[in-house]
């Protein structure tokens, strides 16, 4: 196994498309990080394969934050959503009414036990990648734009990106039963990355740079190969196929 870096950050998003919470440690389960994307707001009149309300429709969602009141028991915990001008329980009718007005259509809340994932349950990003995108775009690049679950700090000066790990397995920590993620595919990006997570301002040029300079591939999707605990600061090693 080759050392590739350390765990720099772990993020869990209780509600799809809303800002999440930073964790010092997380339990990796077969369905991903416990509590990740467990809730989503649904566009009631949308019968497509992607009926979720996201920042595409209401940009300000990405500037809000959601957290579990009992961080260790997301399955049963209440969830609070905070914005600059208010705070609500996730199931508050006033919140749904506000989102319905902002979206111009009826919005309902849905709880999804396995998580409302676009593709696979865990996403991984190397710290070098936002820096490379920033250099191409000529502006600072907040890694939160890419909404990764696990951010891996790679050594300064390395040219290795997370897409170079596809086909391999990341092993987290030195514990006897270490958590493992099988890196399966690159993440194709959409307009969500153009929305600033601090201000909700849109910058279409960012997506253009990602498409032209990075083949529209930022971050990777992973499947759980072995459950276990992941802790910020854990060494991360890459196990490659024989």
Q: Work out the average pLDDT over 64-92.
A: 96
Q: Is the per-residue pLDDT at 116 higher than 80?
A: yes
pLDDT value for 242: 66
The residues that bridge with 23 in the sheet, in sequence order, are 10
Three-class SS state of 211: helix
Q: Which residues contact 183 (CB under 8 A, 6 or more apart)?
A: 124, 162, 165, 166, 167, 168, 169, 170, 220, 221, 222
The per-residue pLDDT for range 2-32, each reduced to its tens digit, is 999 999 999 999 999 999 999 999 999 999 9
Confidence band, pLDDT 50/70/90 cuts, at residue 1 = confident
Q: Where are the domains of the chain?
A: 2-239
The per-residue pLDDT for range 168-222, each reduced to its tens digit, is 999 999 988 899 999 999 999 999 999 999 999 999 999 999 999 999 999 999 9
Q: Work out the average pLDDT over 108-129.
A: 92
pLDDT value for 128: 96
**According to the 3-state scheme, what is the secondary structure of 85-143?**
CEEEECCCHHHHHHHHHHHCCCEEEEECCCCCCCCCCEEEEECHHHHHHHHHHCCCCCH
In terms of DSSP bridges, do strands 25-29 and 122-126 run parallel, antiparallel, or are they unpaired? unpaired
pLDDT value for 113: 82
The per-residue pLDDT for range 68-77, each reduced to its tens digit, is 999 999 999 9
Q: Work out the average pLDDT over 119-123.
A: 91
Q: Which residues contact 101 (CB under 8 A, 6 or more apart)?
A: none
Q: Is the per-residue pLDDT at 239 higher than 70?
A: yes
CATH number of 2-239: 2.40.33.20
* Percent over 70 (pLDDT), the chain: 100
């Amino acid at each position: 196994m080759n050392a590739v870096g350390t765990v720099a950050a772990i993020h869990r998003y209780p509600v799809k498309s809303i800002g999440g919470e930073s964790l010092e440690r997380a339990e990796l389960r077969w369905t991903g990080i416990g509590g990740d994307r467990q809730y989503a707001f649904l566009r009631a009149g949308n019968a497509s394969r992607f009926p979720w309300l996201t920042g595409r429709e209401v940009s300000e969602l990405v500037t809000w934050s959601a957290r579990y009141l009992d961080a260790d028991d997301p399955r049963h915990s209440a969830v609070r959503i905070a914005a600059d001008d208010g705070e609500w329980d996730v199931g508050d009718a006033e919140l749904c009414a506000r989102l319905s007005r902002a979206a111009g259509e009826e919005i309902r809340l849905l709880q999804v036990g396995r998580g409302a994932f676009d593709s696979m349950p865990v996403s991984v990003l190397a710290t070098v990648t936002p820096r490379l995108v920033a250099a191409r775009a000529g502006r600072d690049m907040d890694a939160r734009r890419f909404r990764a679950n696990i951010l891996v700090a790679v050594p300064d000066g390395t040219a290795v990106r997370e897409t170079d790990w596809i086909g391999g397995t990341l092993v987290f920590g030195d514990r006897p039963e270490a958590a493992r993620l099988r890196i399966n595919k690159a993440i194709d990006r959409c307009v969500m990355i153009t929305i600033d997570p601090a201000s909700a301002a849109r910058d279409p040029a960012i997506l253009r740079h990602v498409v032209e300079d990075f083949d529209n591939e930022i971050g990777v999707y992973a499947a759980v190969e072995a459950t276990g605990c992941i802790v910020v600061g854990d060494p991360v090693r890459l196990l490659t196929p024989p």
